[in-house]
Amino acid sequence: MAEADAVQVVVEEFDPQAKAGTKVKSEVSASLSIGGVDHKVSQQKDKNKAQRAKLKKQLRDAFTKEEAEDMEQTEDEKKARPEKLGIAKKFMMETACTTGDGKPKKLVGTGPKDLGEYGVGVQLYFEFLSDMGWLWVFLFLFTIPMLYYTLGGTILNDFPETKNQNFFYKGMALFTPANLGTCGSGAMDCLSQHQRETRKVFPGSDTLVSDVTPALGILDLVQMIIALGFIIWFRLYKIPAAVRIQDEANVTASDFAIRVGGLPRKLKQNHENYEPLLKHHFEKVLLECGQDENDDPERPNVAEVALIREYDGCISTFLQQGNLLEEMYEASIGARLAKSDGKAEKQQKLEKKREKLKKQFYKLDETIKEQTDMKDSEREVCGAFVMFQTEQMKDLVLSAYKPFTNSWTSRLVQPKHLRFQDWRLRVSQTCEPEELYWENMDYSWLLHKCRKFCTLTVSFFIVVFCIFILTWLRSSSAAVNTSSMPFDLWIFEEAGQARSLDASGPAPCMELCQLDVFFDDRCEVVESPMNYMNLIFDTDFIWNASTDTSAHLLQDNNAECHPSDPFYQSPSCTQNQSARVAYVFKEPSPVLCIKVANRKGPSGQKPAPMRIYGCPSNTLVSNSSGFFDQQGERWDRETYCVRFDDAILEGYDSPQPVKLRSDCLFPITLEAAQRAKDLGESFMTSPRLSCFCVQQANKEPRIRFPGLVETPEAEMCRDWAWYQGTQMGIRAGGVIAVMVINNVLLLIFAYFDSLGRYQTATDLASSQVFNLFFATLVNTAIVYNLIGMNVYTSSNTFFGSLRFGQGPFDDLTPLWFVTIGNMLVVTIVCQIGCSVALPVLWIWTVDPLLRWMFTKDIHSQELLNEYHVFPEWTLSLRVAETLVVVFCVFMYSSGYPFLYLCGAIYCLLAYWGDKYTLLRGSRRPPGYTKSAIESAVIMMPVAILLHSVFALWLFGNQELMPSAWGGLKGFAESIINMAYSYSEIMGVVAQGGFDVRGSNYGSYLEARMVDCARTAAEPILWLFFAQLLYYALVILHSIFRPCLGNRVPEAMDWTLKALKITRDARAEKTTLAEAKAQEEKGLLSYRMDMNPNYEEATMALNFNPEDMGASPPSERQVVKASTGMSLHKLEEQFERNAAVKLHEAENYVASALDRFRVFGKSSGSSKTKEEVKTPTGETTPTSRQVV
């Protein structure tokens, strides 16, 4: 007998008025108990029945007695607290994941299949962890060639910007493409773009990096193909096979049940007989499908019809009332015990609490008065659950409705014999009854969608807000401004060796035919030197542009260098002086580009490297003895000038941009730093100030700690030291902030998902998987990319004011891997550790502490039992966090191969950590289905797509992984349609300063996208195109699904059944009646009164204080004036009208289609004879309406 029946029996036993037939408050339980369970009631159910009956009497006493002491003494008062705690702990173990005798299961030896008793979703989750771990170990083997070449490279020690970086970060970057190849000491073998692209893979090796990168690209493609194969195998074989094994081993309610939607809310006639009419309808459908009629009344073909009635949301109120009754009982017991202990103040406090709870009960009762006075047979119907006698019957009905239930257009052609009262039905497989949220079953479909949209919108803005906060907090450094600066004195000096730090020694002889300066970034705008030039001089001559306009001196834009042409010869060619020439402009101007023609050969000969300085002319006095400052002292260019990057010239036709260096290669003197500070330069973006402090800190590490050293250099770098210390704290705190924000977001999204009013736990789990995964993934794997990304946003814009898009890197570089990339990996590793450790720490510390805090003043055995239940093990949360790790590993594995090992370690730790949490500190799960893990597997191809995007950008980067052009170059250029040629962009823009790159960043991105057609990136590009094609087909299939019908799913189902991956229902012989006869089969009914999760609601539905002789308080007599129809009721009325109008529109469109579909026949319906095959192969004629 159902527990609701038990409660009703108790009311009759203890209340004579109830026996006399007094009208009960609601007839919900009476209607829900129609067709009650006819199998033998077990001893455990009898025990539960007696306990609920006793509790019912106690609740009645707590409610009806005016004073707590008037109650009869209860067993909760008689028992000592240690005894009650012992019972509560025993109850805790009974509700936990234990064996039949209440003992914890063994951790070792309990495999995924053993955990399948808690639902196939639990089994699939642990199998997914195990299989994913082995997959990552296998994929790591394919990265060994990459690790071999990267560990043998010397790039990180060759370039100054990475050589002096943190040892830990640089050590991590050794395993990445940032260390691929060698450039010699001081990167002297990689001075030009061409040299970097043709560098050797090892020191002393003849193999080029460009020779091995295509093979690495192919290996990366193989890894992704294997990963995609794993996804397909797990989705099409592993999940169906696990479901088949579970179905064969267990008989559940969903094996026999379907959910029916699209029903009329109110029948025009015989609405009170809705349930038998619907039952009769599906019996006729079974006959149409060839099922024999069953005359056995004990085992009807349609075994149960559970209607979803319109309670107007009052089930939630009933649940609250049930909880209030239990709290009132607890307050009553507490007051009596306080009186016996002589604690009058505590007794008075608890008495007030009891009265307050009673008022709340009556207040809730007023809100649902209209619903409680209504009979169930009068309520509207929102849907139904139909249970059949065999699983084969259920599949017959599902197959009959499947072609006509996927969309509105397919329902238009639904045959009339499948309709109920001429309403087109939506029939689908349903979940287990334990997964139903009855308080949401009658909730409006439209309001549910509105709630879902609102919660998703708010969630999205919360994630965006977190992105901006983390970006602002964790922006470790702004991009160093390497732009050219305006000076009116420019010095050009030929260097024997590029980027040499020592300028002393014999100066080379500099003979130039042409040295042209330009103020545009491509050396294209030709302007007469007379417009901006004032003087050109060295220690031997001075040329005045305003007085000597006929002289041919470098500035005529003529690159010819014939022996008869005039040329410039530096003084160092005849005497031991410097090989430099100075240009004095009429006003300070930034030189962005230069062109040089050398006299030592034809114009195409490669000139020697050239040092470039920019200085204010008012600091320099020149005479025949040399250069002096205003005080007559020898003029020091290192103090008064800014040294730009050396020009590595390839010829006059190959212009060289002028920019500052950001790697602190050139030494900065204290005087130069002081002068830069006086000029208002910032140590955050100025190369002179920041590089001075970096160089001094390398000499004296204590300078990094303000106040430890009292020197002029330390005083100069005091603000820099504070800034660096703050940034280190922010970077360390940023990782902690990500962990904290991720866990806070988990709580927020869990709350938002509860507001969505989902009808089943499966729908809720699917929503939680996506929402929790999205929020955690963004903060873990994407925010650091946004922090390091520089898209040259202006500080005057909204994004720029938040430092968004103002990071130090506009592309992948070795320094990106050392700084941003490594912090990204550290964040991923910390997230891995946090997601594994927090659940274990929770059951060790937080859960016992919370249980002690909430139960120290509890006396009711019922509440003690409730508080001693372990927390729920949420599969959706664990799947979401695992999916985040999967995405992080796959997204960046092409650049960080050791992430595969990190992922494998996570799978190992999560497997045992989650098993420990489940078996030692969690309540028994509610029988999770495959939906959560299936949703995760469906999303995994997106991780492969993101991997392809990152891999394309990495393997196409010629600075890191150079390679030759592939066969798709022409195709890529035709799609991108660049405004400038590739060589021009990479020769000028890519090598320019901050301002040049910023103003031409769009062109640079276009060139980088064309780089995806390189031989190293081309295999990944083909995979990327294949993925785009797949998702395009998925979108098209979803759009044209009504036209295509169910051919593809039916073919897939047939294939899986033929391969015996999924179970054929015809092989199942157990009937519903036989399953109900077996006590261990669990809940086999979809009626609410049979669901143990809704005992409080059932109890409140059958609890009527007035029937028990209780006089309501005066507050209950005050009925508020009607305020009109609420928004909820208006929406409900709108939805009812819309359903009717939609039904009428369906009939009208269907009749119109019928007239066009049947040629030569009159419109309307006609009788026709059809033959229906029975399972035995015979044919029987049936009469069917043709529409």
Across 519-579, the runs of DSSP E, i.e. the strands, are 533-537, 542-544, 568-569
Q: Residues near 650 by Cβ (< 8 Å), separated by ≥ 6?
A: 192, 194, 606
Token pair 């992704």 is at which residue? 224
Start-end of H helices in 604-717: 637-640, 670-678, 687-699, 712-716
How many other C-beta atoms lie within 10 A of the C-beta of residue 148?
11
Whether residue 685 contacts residue 479, with contact meaning beta carbons closer than 8 Å, is answered with yes
Strands 656-657, 593-598: parallel, antiparallel or unpaired by DSSP?
antiparallel
Average pLDDT over residues 38-56: 49
Q: Residues near 161 by Cβ (< 8 Å), separated by ≥ 6?
A: 662, 663, 664, 814, 815
Residue 351 has pLDDT above 80, yes or no: yes
Lowest mean pLDDT among 340-354, 922-936, 1138-1152: 1138-1152
Lowest mean pLDDT among 157-161, 892-896, 985-989, 1137-1141: 1137-1141
Percent of the chain exceeding pLDDT 70 equals: 77
Alpha carbon distance 552, 513 (integer Å): 10
pLDDT value, residue 286: 92
pLDDT value, residue 918: 92
Residue 234 has pLDDT above 90, yes or no: yes
Strands 257-261, 626-628: parallel, antiparallel or unpaired by DSSP?
unpaired
> DSSP 3-state assignment of 151?
helix
Lowest mean pLDDT among 300-304, 910-914, 1123-1127: 1123-1127
pLDDT value, residue 506: 63
Which one-letter amino acid corresponds to residue 742? N
Average pLDDT over residues 1137-1153: 71
Residue 1021 has pLDDT above 90, yes or no: yes
Task: Kindly provide the b/e burial profile for residues 1133-1165, where b requires at least 16 CB atoms within 10 angstroms of the residue's own CB.
Answer: eeeeeebeeebeebbeebeeebeeeeeeeeeee
Higher pLDDT, 828 or 74: 828
Identify the CA nearest to 954 among candidates 242, 216, 168. 216
Higher pLDDT, 198 or 314: 198
pLDDT value, residue 1149: 72
Higher pLDDT, 1098 or 443: 443
> DSSP 3-state assignment of 269?
coil
pLDDT band at 1041 (very low <50, low <70, confident <90, very high): low
Lowest mean pLDDT among 45-49, 729-733, 986-990: 45-49
Alpha carbon distance 830, 823 (integer Å): 10
Whether residue 580 contacts residue 492, with contact meaning beta carbons closer than 8 Å, is answered with yes
What DSSP string runs through 780-848? IIIHHHHHHBB----TTSHHHHTTTTB-SBSS--HHHIIIIIHHHHHHHHHHHHHHHHHHHHIIIIIHH
Identify the CA nearest to 263 among candidates 253, 274, 254. 274
Classify 1124 in phi/psi space as left (phi over 0), alpha (psi -120 to 50) or beta. left
Identify the CA nearest to 380 among candidates 312, 433, 427. 312
Average pLDDT over residues 1121-1145: 61
Residue 144 has pLDDT above 90, yes or no: yes
Q: What pTM was estimated for this model as a whole?
A: 0.80
Alpha carbon distance 1007, 1013 (integer Å): 11
Q: Residues near 629 by Cβ (< 8 Å), separated by ≥ 6?
A: 619, 620, 621, 635, 636, 640
pLDDT band at 607 (very low <50, low <70, confident <90, very high): low
pLDDT value, residue 539: 65
Higher pLDDT, 1163 or 987: 987
Alpha carbon distance 210, 960 (integer Å): 10
- Give the model confidence (pLDDT) of 775-796 as tens digits: 788 877 887 777 778 888 777 7
- What are the counts of helices (DSSP H) followed by strands (DSSP E) for the chain? 49, 18
Identify the H or E element spanning 583.
strand 580-589
Alpha carbon distance 927, 436 (integer Å): 12
Average pLDDT over residues 608-626: 80
pLDDT value, residue 224: 96
- Between helix 391-401 and helix 274-288 the angle, nearest 10°, is 80
Alpha carbon distance 661, 643 (integer Å): 8
Residue 527 has pLDDT above 80, yes or no: no
Residue 656 has pLDDT above 50, yes or no: yes
Identify the CA nearest to 677 among candidates 666, 693, 661. 693
pLDDT value, residue 1187: 27
Average pLDDT over residues 600-606: 51
Identify the H or E element spanning 902.
helix 899-921
pLDDT value, residue 277: 93
- Name the burial class of residue 1096, with classes exposed (0-12), middle (13-18) and buried (19+) by CB atoms within 10 angstroms of its CB: middle
Residue 178 has pLDDT above 90, yes or no: yes
Percent of the chain exceeding pLDDT 90 equals: 18
Identify the CA nearest to 595 among candidates 687, 689, 503, 492. 492
- 8-state DSSP, 575: S
Average pLDDT of the residues of the chain = 77
- 8-state DSSP, 1172: E
Which one-letter amino acid corresponds to residue 690? S
pLDDT value, residue 1164: 39
> DSSP 3-state assignment of 763?
helix
Alpha carbon distance 718, 24 (integer Å): 82
- Give the model confidence (pLDDT) of 453-502 as tens digits: 877 787 778 777 777 776 666 555 566 778 888 999 998 888 777 777 66
Q: Residues near 502 by Cβ (< 8 Å), separated by ≥ 6?
A: none
Whether residue 1013 contacts residue 953, with contact meaning beta carbons closer than 8 Å, is answered with no
Alpha carbon distance 423, 1145 (integer Å): 11
Taking CA atoms, 12 is separated from 7, 15, 44, 819, 897, in Å, by 9, 5, 23, 75, 72
Alpha carbon distance 631, 533 (integer Å): 26
Whether residue 112 contacts residue 133, with contact meaning beta carbons closer than 8 Å, is answered with no
Taking CA atoms, 621 is separated from 489, 538, 571, 582, 977, in Å, by 12, 11, 18, 12, 52
Whether residue 471 contacts residue 803, with contact meaning beta carbons closer than 8 Å, is answered with yes
Lowest mean pLDDT among 88-102, 137-151, 1047-1061: 1047-1061
- Name the burial class of residue 15, with classes exposed (0-12), middle (13-18) and buried (19+) by CB atoms within 10 angstroms of its CB: middle
Token pair 């036989």 is at which residue? 1074
Higher pLDDT, 1175 or 607: 607
* Distance between first and last Cα of the chain: 45
Alpha carbon distance 230, 797 (integer Å): 46
Structure tokens at 940: 């995994």
pLDDT value, residue 55: 58
Identify the CA nearest to 339 among candidates 865, 859, 1111. 859
Phi, psi of 508 (to 5 degrees): -70, 160
pLDDT band at 366 (very low <50, low <70, confident <90, very high): confident
Residue 167 has pLDDT above 70, yes or no: yes
pLDDT value, residue 1172: 40
Whether residue 261 contacts residue 426, with contact meaning beta carbons closer than 8 Å, is answered with yes
Cα 482 to the center of its chain, rounded Å: 36
Residue 834 has pLDDT above 80, yes or no: yes
Phi, psi of 1150 (to 5 degrees): -65, -40
Higher pLDDT, 1040 or 959: 959
Average pLDDT over residues 529-548: 70
Whether residue 4 contacts residue 1089, with contact meaning beta carbons closer than 8 Å, is answered with yes
